[in-house]
């Protein structure tokens, strides 16, 4: 049966990362309904505990140089459910916790004003959402990934439907399309279980090696890829994302935009690497042609043109997010090891970039009442808080891919990987869409920095210090990603293969 | 527009049918699904946990983490309903001054409810308790318990039902159910074992290893039944009345 | 042989439930669809799943659907 | 041809799967989409449970005996997975129905094209 040895808290680390926000979701739910002011501190403690344990997990794995396989309930890997923690997983967990912490800090005043009576429900929903996201990143079991996927999508349907009339329609459309995606993934796992008999990802891999040329294994891979591409809004199935993220309150879009799409792409990478194995996926040349040299380039051009033609700032940032998704998905199917490593690097970097983009929109909407590009002229933001605008400038550099920031390295190496894979339409579209995004940012910079209006020394024209701190940490991380790119690539990501 | 969907649906159907040639025939004993992991469950479940019903063992013990998060999916649905169908305090009518029993509105329904409800609740408790020996367990028992509350709400009106069942402590109990489940798991971590490893309860309950597993599964089933019954009843109340009764929050 | 007949009736119920014009009839046919699923599941030795499908599938979800239909109305265009 | 006959139940599960998928995508009424969603999920439940069936076996309740003949009891694992899928289906249904009620309260209709036209007017 299971070993009887005594486990210290250090050995139980992977499960603590997931259980801390889970338990604090109940504490906010129970105590929050009596005392309103206690909701925010409890939620904050839950996220900080998870942050610390994920940092501690990263140091543990990084020093020991080997991955942790944590089996729940003390059963062996193929009988029970197991968690799989390696250095890249832990860094992704740390970044997700950090971004949820920043959004909680940003949204404290906004949420209390907007939901005075149902504050406890909102915070316990955000913590359940965080638990689902952490579970998707860390779990090593195929069906357990589906359960976590359902928790994430159910809480995101509820969070989207908070902003009045149009958000209900957006949430219902997202629910219908999200259920289709999740059930396709369920069908793929069912076919894999039918052919192999076990549910653990690496156990399925050992069973699949002998029968890879079967049509049903290819079909399972196709269903899982289609299911995930529906969930993270790849080009043909993207209609719900801009509709959903622009209709909600800016806190919810700041919570979901940086995390849901990136984690779904990471789940696809994990399934490809752990379940099917890279050599098997590389044999699919037709997918390489379909995804990375037809759908992804068209998607990038289409999304950047849509981003350019929007009046609302948040809607154009949604389209920039969609362009990043099609960039990552296209780079994923270039079928060489370098493109996988760069996509994983870009997934981690993109969490911070999208977070600071949507926090910038949130700050504009709450503190300056600026919703469209044309409103930017009415308020002179740069005069009163120059540091805030400079920190945002660094994020824009990274989105465009200007050298010092991390964005440059990921785009440069993706183009390199595309050339080695003899795909030429994809890098050309990448460069063209980057220039179109440059024009979008120039419109913002022109109104943000070279504004001649007189600044009114009002109380609400100053961005609070906490936001400056958040943007400072974001900029620091983006530059950090840029400067020690080789360290990240060699030490953290390469451990995965 | 519909033509594209018809085309995609037919294409998907043909692709799926072409898949069935690889699948083993339903019911043959040598299919991979019946040879790999499930024999371990069938052989060792009774030896390790003293629970004849293997489905309950796999549900709450071998893959217990799945069920923990599946119960929190139900809890998320409950919280989602609170957030979506929200009405501010002044839009709600307070139901404390409503007449206690709506006399004579639907005689048949009320009398049959008076007869059926105690039996339904007794059966629900039986199903929860006997999850180890007969098919049933936390989910089915919880839903039957919620069905008896809904039956009462249909026949006697929602305000009476709200007044009668856990007046404003409902949302606390819903969280409490899943907290029992996660608490048992966390207790095993505190007792220096892995998460949800029920062997750790051995020295608290002072029972043998196998019985510790059996009691752990029983606690977990009670937690699941509590949450599911409260949330299913709350779903009905929310959807039927649109959250227009001044009750605490669930 | 019995399974095959029940499956055919299941497909007919699904097709009927989607194309009938009155939403109330559609949700009742969906309740019958869940009940037949429960019968099929119990024939395939999945007694726990059949129990849950009977309680949750044809029981609670039909009640929830009819509860919303009372507020939303029974008419539908397509 | 007899291979096809022996696997007819998979074919019918996939017919239900496609029927639900088509209804969710193409039906104009939101309630019909929700009905299509529950048909869609019920077909996946049937597909999973058909994997665990053993001919001539019994329900997976094992008596207290030392050596247990595996072929006498059905495979319990798909049953556990499908308990989760059923409960997930119901919770998605409850959230979808609550959204449907709110849409009806705001726009007085649950037809998708009418709702989208009303949204464009604002």
CA distance A272 to D99: 35
Asked, for residue B77, whether it belongs to a domain, the answer is yes
Residues A95-104: tens digit of each pLDDT = 999 999 999 9
Closest residue to A166, CB basis, from D17, D40, D119: D119
Instruction: Find all residues with CB under 8 Å of B53, minimum gap 6, and list them.
Output: B131, B132, B133, B134, B135, B137, C48, D60, D61
Asked, for residue D65, whether it belongs to a domain, the answer is no
CA distance D10 to B201: 44
The residues pairing with B81 across neighbouring beta strands, listed in sequence order, are none
pLDDT at A4: 55
Closest residue to B147, CB basis, from C44, C48, C55: C55
H helices within C1-78, ranges in order?
A: 2-19, 23-43, 47-52, 61-72
Asked, for residue B11, whether it belongs to a domain, the answer is no
When pLDDT is averaged across residues C11-27 and rounded to a whole number, the result is: 93
CA distance A75 to A289: 43
Nearest by Cα to A456 from A376, A352, A381, A405: A381
pLDDT averaged over chain A? 87
pTM over 0.90? The answer is yes
Lookup: tokens for D62: 């094992």
CA distance A149 to A162: 21
When pLDDT is averaged across residues D47-75 and rounded to a whole number, the result is: 86
**pLDDT band with cut points at 50, 70 and 90 for residue C64:** very high
Domains in chain B, number: 1
CA distance B93 to B95: 6
When pLDDT is averaged across residues A65-71 and rounded to a whole number, the result is: 85
> Using an 8 Å Cβ cutoff, are A140 and A79 in contact?
no
**pLDDT band with cut points at 50, 70 and 90 for residue B249:** very low
Residues of A in Cβ contact (< 8 Å) with D81: 143
When pLDDT is averaged across residues B167-183 and rounded to a whole number, the result is: 84
The residues spanned by each domain of chain A are 1-139, 162-282, 284-497
Beta carbons of D14 and B16 less than 8 Å apart: yes
Asked, for residue B16, whether it belongs to a domain, the answer is no
A190 at the D interface (CB within 8 A)? Answer: yes
Lookup: tokens for B236: 């009905």
When pLDDT is averaged across residues B8-20 and rounded to a whole number, the result is: 92
pLDDT at B247: 57
Straight-line distance from the first to the last Cα atom of chain B, in angstroms, rounded to the nearest whole number: 42
pLDDT at B162 over 60: yes
Of A488 and D49, the structure prediction assigns the larger pLDDT to D49
Residues of A in Cβ contact (< 8 Å) with B15: 219
Domains in chain C, number: 1
Asked, for residue D62, whether it belongs to a domain, the answer is no
Asked, for residue B60, whether it belongs to a domain, the answer is yes
pLDDT at D86 over 70: yes
**pLDDT band with cut points at 50, 70 and 90 for residue B98:** low
User: What three-state secondary structure class fits A184?
Assistant: helix
Q: What does the angle CA A199 – CA A205 – CA A210 come to, to the nearest 5 degrees?
A: 120
A22-26, A247-251, B152-156: which has the highest mean pLDDT?
Answer: A22-26
Closest residue to A150, CB basis, from D44, D88, D103: D88
Q: Which domain covers residue D105, as residue numbers?
A: 2-55+71-121
pLDDT at A45: 94
Interface of C with D (CB under 8 A): 3-4, 7-8, 10-11, 14-15, 17-18, 23, 26-27, 30, 33-34, 37, 40-41, 44-49, 52-53, 56-57, 60-61, 64-65, 67-69, 71-73, 76-78
**pLDDT band with cut points at 50, 70 and 90 for residue B125:** very high
Distance from CA of D91 to the nearest CA of C (A): 9
Distance from CA of A165 to the nearest CA of D (A): 6
**pLDDT band with cut points at 50, 70 and 90 for residue B100:** low
Lowest-pLDDT range of A29-38, B94-103, D42-51, D71-80: B94-103
Asked, for residue C77, whether it belongs to a domain, the answer is no
Lookup: tokens for B227: 């949450």
pLDDT at B196 over 90: no
pLDDT at A2 over 50: no
Beta carbons of D77 and B66 less than 8 Å apart: no
pLDDT at D90: 94
Domains in chain D, number: 1
Interface of B with A in 126-145 (CB under 8 A): none
Closest residue to C57, CB basis, from D31, D79, D86: D86
CA distance A348 to A259: 10
Place of tokens 């999916």: B73
Whole-number Cα distances in Å, D58 to A65, B16, D63, D71: 48, 30, 12, 9
H helices within D27-65, ranges in order?
A: 30-51
What's the complex ipTM?
0.94
CA distance D80 to C78: 37
pLDDT at C63 over 60: yes
pLDDT at A6 over 80: no
Nearest Cα residue in chain A from D34: A176
Asked, for residue C78, whether it belongs to a domain, the answer is no
CA distance C26 to B3: 24
Q: Which domain covers residue B152, as residue numbers?
A: 53-241
Q: Which chains touch C (3 or more CB pairs under 8 A)?
A: B, D
CA distance B213 to A226: 40
- Report the CATH number at residue D82: 1.10.287.3510
Q: Which domain covers residue C46, as residue numbers?
A: 2-72
Instruction: Find all residues with CB under 8 Å of A36, minimum gap 6, and list them.
Output: A112, A116, A119, A120
């Amino acid at each position: 049966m299971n070993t009887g040895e005594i486990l210290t808290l250090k050995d139980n680390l992977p499960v603590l990362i997931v259980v801390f926000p889970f338990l604090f979701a109940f504490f906010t739910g129970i105590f929050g309904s009596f005392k309103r002011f206690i909701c925010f501190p409890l939620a904050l403690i839950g996220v900080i505990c998870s942050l610390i344990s994920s940092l501690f997990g990263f140091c543990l794995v990084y020093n020991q140089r080997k991955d942790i396989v944590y089996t729940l309930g003390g059963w062996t890997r193929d009988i029970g459910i197991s968690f799989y923690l390696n250095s890249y997983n832990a860094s992704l967990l740390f970044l997700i916790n950090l971004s949820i912490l920043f959004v909680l800090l940003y949204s404290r005043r906004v949420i209390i004003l907007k939901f005075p009576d149902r504050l406890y429900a909102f915070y316990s929903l955000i913590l359940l959402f965080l638990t689902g996201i952490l579970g998707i990143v860390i779990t090593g079991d195929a069906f357990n990934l589906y359960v976590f996927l359902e928790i994430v999508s159910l809480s995101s349907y509820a969070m989207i439907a908070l902003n009045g009339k149009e958000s209900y329609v957006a949430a219902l459309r997202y629910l219908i399309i999200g259920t289709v995606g999740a059930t396709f993934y369920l069908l793929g796992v069912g076919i894999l279980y039918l052919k192999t008999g076990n549910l653990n990802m690496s156990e399925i891999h050992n069973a699949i090696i002998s029968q890879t040329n079967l049509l049903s294994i290819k079909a399972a891979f196709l269903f899982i890829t289609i299911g995930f591409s529906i969930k993270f809004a790849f080009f043909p199935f993207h209609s719900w994302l801009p509709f959903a993220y622009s209709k909600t309150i800016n806190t919810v879009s700041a919570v979901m935009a940086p995390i849901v799409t990136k984690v779904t792409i990471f789940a696809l990478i994990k399934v490809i690497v752990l379940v099917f194995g890279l050599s098997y996926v590389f044999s699919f040349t037709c997918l390489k042609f379909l995804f990375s040299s037809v759908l992804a380039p068209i998607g990038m051009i289409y999304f950047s043109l849509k981003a350019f033609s929007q009046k609302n700032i948040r809607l154009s940032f949604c389209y920039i997010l969609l362009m990043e998704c099609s960039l990552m998905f296209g780079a994923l199917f270039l079928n060489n090891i370098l493109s996988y490593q760069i996509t994983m690097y870009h997934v981690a970097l993109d969490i911070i970039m999208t977070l600071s983009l949507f926090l910038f929109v949130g700050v504009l909407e709450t503190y300056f009442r600026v919703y469209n590009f044309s409103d930017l002229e009415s308020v002179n933001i740069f005069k009163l808080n120059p540091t805030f605008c400079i920190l945002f400038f660094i994020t824009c550099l990274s989105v465009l891919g200007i050298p010092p920031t991390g964005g440059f390295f990921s785009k440069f190496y993706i183009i390199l990987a595309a050339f080695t894979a003899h795909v030429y339409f994809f890098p050309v579209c990448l460069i063209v869409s980057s220039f179109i995004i440059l024009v979008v940012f120039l419109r913002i910079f022109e109104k943000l920095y070279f504004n001649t209006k007189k600044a009114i020394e009002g109380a609400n024209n100053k961005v609070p210090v906490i936001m400056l701190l958040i943007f400072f940490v974001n900029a620091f991380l983006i530059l950090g990603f840029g400067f020690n790119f080789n360290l990240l690539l060699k030490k953290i990501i390469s451990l995965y293969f | 527009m519909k033509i594209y969907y018809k085309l995609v649906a037919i294409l998907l159907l043909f692709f799926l049918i072409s898949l069935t040639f690889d699948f083993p025939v339903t019911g043959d004993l040598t299919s991979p699904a019946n040879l790999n992991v499930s024999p371990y469950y069938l052989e060792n479940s009774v030896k390790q946990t003293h629970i004849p019903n293997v489905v309950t063992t796999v549900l709450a013990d071998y893959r217990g983490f799945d069920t923990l998060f599946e119960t929190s999916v139900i809890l998320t649905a409950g919280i989602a309903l609170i957030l979506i169908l929200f009405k501010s305090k002044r839009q709600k009518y307070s139901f404390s001054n409503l007449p206690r029993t709506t006399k004579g509105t639907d005689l048949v329904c009320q009398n049959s409810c008076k007869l059926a409800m105690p039996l339904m609740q007794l059966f629900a408790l039986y199903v929860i308790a006997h999850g180890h020996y007969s098919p049933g367990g936390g989910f089915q028992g919880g839903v039957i318990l919620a069905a008896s509350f809904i039956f009462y709400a249909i026949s006697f009106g929602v305000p009476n039902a709200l007044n009668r069942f856990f007046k404003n402590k409902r949302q606390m109990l819903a969280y409490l159910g899943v907290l029992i489940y996660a608490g048992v798991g966390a207790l095993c971590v505190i007792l220096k074992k892995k998460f949800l490893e029920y062997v750790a309860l051995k020295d608290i309950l002072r029972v043998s290893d196998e019985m510790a597993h059996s009691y752990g599964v029983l606690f977990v089933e009670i937690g699941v039944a509590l949450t599911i019954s409260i949330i299913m009843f709350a779903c009905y109340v929310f959807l039927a009345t649109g959250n227009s009764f001044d009750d605490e929050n669930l | 042989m019995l399974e095959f007949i029940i499956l055919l009736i299941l497909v007919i119920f699904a097709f009927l439930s989607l194309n009938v014009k009155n939403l109330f009839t559609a949700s009742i046919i969906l309740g019958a669809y869940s009940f037949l699923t429960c019968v099929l599941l119990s024939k395939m030795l999945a007694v726990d799943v059949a129990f849950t499908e009977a309680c949750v599938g044809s029981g609670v979800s039909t009640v929830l659907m009819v509860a919303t239909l009372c507020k939303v109305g029974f008419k539908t265009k397509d | 041809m007899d291979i096809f006959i022996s696997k007819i139940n998979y074919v019918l599960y996939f017919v239900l799967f496609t029927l639900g998928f088509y209804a969710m995508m193409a039906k104009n009424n939101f309630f019909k989409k929700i009905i299509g969603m529950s048909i869609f999920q019920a077909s996946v439940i049937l597909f999973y449970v058909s994997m665990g069936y053993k001919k001539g076996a019994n329900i997976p309740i094992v008596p207290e005996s030392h050596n247990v003949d595996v072929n006498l009891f059905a495979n319990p694992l798909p049953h556990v997975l499908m308990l989760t899928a059923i409960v997930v289906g119901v919770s998605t249904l409850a959230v979808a129905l609550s959204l449907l009620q709110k849409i009806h309260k705001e726009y007085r209709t649950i037809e998708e094209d009418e709702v989208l036209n009303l949204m464009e007017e604002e």
